[in-house]
């Protein structure tokens, strides 16, 4: 008798088929968590449970480079604002300049007929302090020429940058990626294919044979009749069952977010970084 596909499927242990992979996923997640804990303990801390530090040496700039500054006009101080100037046409401001020097540039600001201030637009390049002159106001009654003095800055040579050799100690855990692997998704596909084929055949064979023999012996006679009969019936049956089972398991893992406790621990370790000088200032 052929197998019943429903009976075949009902005999399968789906608990093991589905629960087995799920248990394997849980076990894998457990192993990943233990691997993370082992990584933190063995890599980040020594046998005395003290953080493992990595030391670096680097030059730290303690004084920046200062370029050379030529002697120049640093400012113009108004000593007398004068009178009679045109507010719309301020007077020209000129600076003296010798050979090899670049004259400074400035403009006057006039308000109410008086020069109220001198704005320096170009400091110029000088070897010694120059003088400044403000043009006279338009001729007329009550005009007074404005005057000003120059503030002079001496030249300065370039100053090289100064460096201090420093040593910094950084906790190893703060510069390494910590594995936080978690199983994000698990898909289990199970397929069962059962093909049942039943065959049956039947054949029969019937044969009848006979012979008649007569003997005459008068006044009486005799007769002999021989009859033969045969019947043959053959029946054959069978069944063929094909079973195919397949299981596909898809597991997707990803890097999980850092736990809050680990994030706080790394914050503490970052605060424990130490930077100390180990060499002279150069």
pLDDT, tens only, 126-138: 999 999 999 999 8
User: Chain-centre distance of CA 70, in angstroms?
Assistant: 50
Look at 205 and 110; give whichever has higher pLDDT.
110
pLDDT, residue 122, reads 94
Q: Which pTM value belongs to this model?
A: 0.45
pLDDT, tens only, 25-83: 888 888 888 988 898 888 888 888 888 888 888 888 888 999 999 999 999 999 999 99
Between the ranges 110-124, 219-233, 261-275, where is the mean pLDDT highest? 110-124
Are 200 and 233 spatial neighbours (Cβ–Cβ below 8 Å)? no
pLDDT, residue 207, reads 62
Which DSSP string do the residues of 154-215 spell out, in sequence order? Answer: --B--B--EEEEEEEEEEGGGTSPPP-EEEEEEEEEEEEEEEEEEEEEEEEEEEEEEEEEEE
pLDDT, tens only, 200-236: 666 666 665 655 555 555 555 565 656 566 666 677 6
């Amino acid at each position: 008798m052929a197998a019943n596909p429903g009976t075949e499927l009902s005999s399968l242990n789906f608990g093991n088929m589905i629960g087995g992979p799920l248990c394997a996923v849980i076990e894998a997640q457990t192993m990943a968590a233990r691997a993370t804990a082992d990584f933190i303990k063995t890599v980040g801390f020594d046998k005395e449970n003290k953080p493992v530090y990595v030391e670096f040496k680097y030059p730290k700039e303690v004084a920046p480079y200062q370029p050379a500054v030529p002697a120049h006009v640093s400012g113009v101080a108004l000593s007398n604002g004068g009178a009679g100037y045109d507010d719309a046409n301020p007077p020209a401001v000129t600076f003296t300049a010798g050979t090899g020097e670049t004259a400074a540039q400035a403009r006057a600001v006039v308000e109410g007929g008086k020069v109220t201030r001198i704005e320096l637009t170009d400091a110029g390049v000088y070897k010694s302090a120059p003088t400044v002159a403000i043009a006279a106001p338009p001729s007329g009654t009550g005009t007074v020429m404005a005057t000003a003095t120059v503030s002079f800055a001496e030249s300065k040579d370039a100053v090289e940058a100064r460096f201090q050799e420093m040593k910094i100690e950084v906790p190893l855990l703060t510069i390494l990626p910590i594995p936080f692997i978690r199983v994000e998704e698990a898909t289990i596909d199970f397929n069962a294919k059962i093909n049942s084929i039943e065959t049956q055949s039947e054949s029969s064979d019937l044969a009848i044979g006979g012979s008649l023999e007569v003997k005459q012996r008068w006044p009486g006679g005799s007769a002999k009749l021989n009859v033969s009969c045969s019947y043959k019936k053959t029946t054959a049956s069978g069944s063929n069952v094909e079973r195919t089972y397949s299981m596909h398991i898809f597991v997707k893992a990803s890097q999980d977010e850092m736990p809050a406790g680990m994030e706080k621990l790394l914050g503490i370790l970052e605060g424990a970084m130490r930077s100390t000088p180990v060499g002279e200032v150069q």
